Copies of this chain bind each other. A is one copy, B any other.
Amino acid sequence: MLKKRVSLRDIAEKAGVSTALVSYVLNGKKNRVGKEMTDKIRKIAEELNYEPHHVAKSLRSGKTFTIGLIIADISNPFFANIARVVEDEAKQYGYTVIIGSSDENAQKSWDLLHVLLNRQVDGFIIVSAENSQKNILLLKEKKIPFVLLDRHFPDIHTDFVTTNNYKASYDATVHLLGNGYDDIALIAYDSDMYHMQERIRGYHQALSENHIVPRKEWLKKVPFSDMDTRVRIAIDALTTGTKPVRAILFATYGLAINGLKYINEKKIKVPDDLAIVSYGQAEVFDLYYCPISYIRQPLEQLGKTAVEMLISKLKNPDETMKQVFMEAKLIARDSSVPVRVKTPG
């Protein structure tokens, strides 16, 4: 067992097909070989303990057929799910994905980049951490193909695919205004990242266009590292006093989860006491007693497009740069239904 190296020809003979067809199937190229034949060839390969000879293949082609994916936080379901999409899509092209998580930490993302560089991945897909610009500059300097996913740095000219966050916040705010909520708060991260700035800008713009002067105390910026405590403080400030807000827009999934837990504790009723819209998508929003309206980022399309862009760049390194903004979609549900006039008592 596992002694003699099994060749493509061995598999082809056993399957009664051409070596080319076996190669086609086992390299996972997008193809029109029927599922039955694909399964048969894969099964025989497995029975024979076929080991694809990555090293030999990479020596011939100079490629390793491996993509390095650096995500910002593996414990965030948005990134975990996008990683799954990237893997599935890369597999269609015969690429394997190895993943590192930077935990939103610039130093860690720098270390990871080097670990993966030393392991000779063909290219990178990166969800950048804050202050990690020098990673990008290094890749550009070394002329290593990469695509930024979900987040980008507007001052650095790169390929990227991201959500139009400005528009998403704008739409969510207009939706709340349209349903009769006028005092609308935004709880965001205290971050210089462009996507977060855009989420704030869209919110401000929607208020201004509707002749509402955004009050400074409506925008709460919470540090990622102390989210739990600081979201509570923010909600206390927003929901008490003489003029409590009528709606909160959460700029991330993590902020919303922490916020909803505290809102439950305080026995604030959604949407009667407080309307909610949030970024992110997760089972929690479906199963909450009052289904939460959310901004659905095009997770599947973002992941797929990043892979397609990278593969295309690997084939043709001189290709023109691509910068893709995708639209998020507001999914309106019970947590932001039109204001109900309270009956007295």
Interface residues of A (CB under 8 A from B): 1-2, 42, 46, 49, 51-52, 54-55, 64, 66, 73-75, 77, 80-81, 83-84, 87-88, 91, 96-101, 103, 106-108, 110-112, 114-116, 118-120, 134, 137-138, 141, 257, 260-261, 264, 282-284, 286-289
| Chain B residues in 8 Å Cβ range of A49 | 134
B103, A87: Cβ atoms closer than 8 Å: yes
Write 20 A-B pairs (CB below 8 A) sorted by A numbering.
A2-B138, A42-B107, A66-B115, A73-B84, A74-B83, A74-B87, A74-B99, A75-B77, A83-B101, A96-B100, A96-B115, A98-B100, A99-B99, A99-B100, A119-B120, A261-B283, A264-B287, A282-B284, A287-B287, A288-B288
Expressed in whole angstroms, the Cα–Cα distance for A261 and B283 within the complex equals 9
Expressed in whole angstroms, the Cα–Cα distance for A111 and B257 within the complex equals 36
| Chain B residues in 8 Å Cβ range of A288 | 287-289
Expressed in whole angstroms, the Cα–Cα distance for A260 and B49 within the complex equals 41
| Chain B residues in 8 Å Cβ range of A287 | 257, 260-261, 264, 284, 287-288
* Residue of A52, A74, A288 with most partner-chain B CB within 10 A: A74
- What is the oligomeric copy number? 2
Expressed in whole angstroms, the Cα–Cα distance for A282 and B288 within the complex equals 13
Expressed in whole angstroms, the Cα–Cα distance for A313 and B175 within the complex equals 57
| Chain B residues in 8 Å Cβ range of A42 | 107
A52, B111: Cβ atoms closer than 8 Å: yes
A84, B74: Cβ atoms closer than 8 Å: yes
CB distance from A228 to the nearest CB of B (A): 12
CB distance from A38 to the nearest CB of B (A): 11
Expressed in whole angstroms, the Cα–Cα distance for A84 and B100 within the complex equals 10
B87, A80: Cβ atoms closer than 8 Å: no
A101, B84: Cβ atoms closer than 8 Å: yes
| Chain B residues in 8 Å Cβ range of A66 | 115, 119
> In the complex, which residue of chain B has the Cβ closest to the Cβ of A258?
B283
Given that A107-B46, A284-B287, A287-B260 are known contacts, is A97 also in contact with B96, CB under 8 Å in the complex?
A: no
| Chain B residues in 8 Å Cβ range of A108 | 91
CB distance from A259 to the nearest CB of B (A): 11
Which of B55, B96, B103 interacts with A112 by CB under 8 Å?
Answer: B96
| Chain B residues in 8 Å Cβ range of A96 | 100, 111-112, 115
> In the complex, which residue of chain B has the Cβ closest to the Cβ of A99?
B99
Closest CB pairs A-B (n = 7): A289-B289, A80-B80, A99-B99, A119-B119, A75-B84, A96-B115, A98-B98
| Chain B residues in 8 Å Cβ range of A84 | 73-75, 101, 103
CB distance from A150 to the nearest CB of B (A): 16
Expressed in whole angstroms, the Cα–Cα distance for A64 and B117 within the complex equals 13
Expressed in whole angstroms, the Cα–Cα distance for A55 and B118 within the complex equals 7
Expressed in whole angstroms, the Cα–Cα distance for A103 and B80 within the complex equals 12
Expressed in whole angstroms, the Cα–Cα distance for A22 and B83 within the complex equals 35
* Residue of A80, A112, A282 with most partner-chain B CB within 10 A: A80
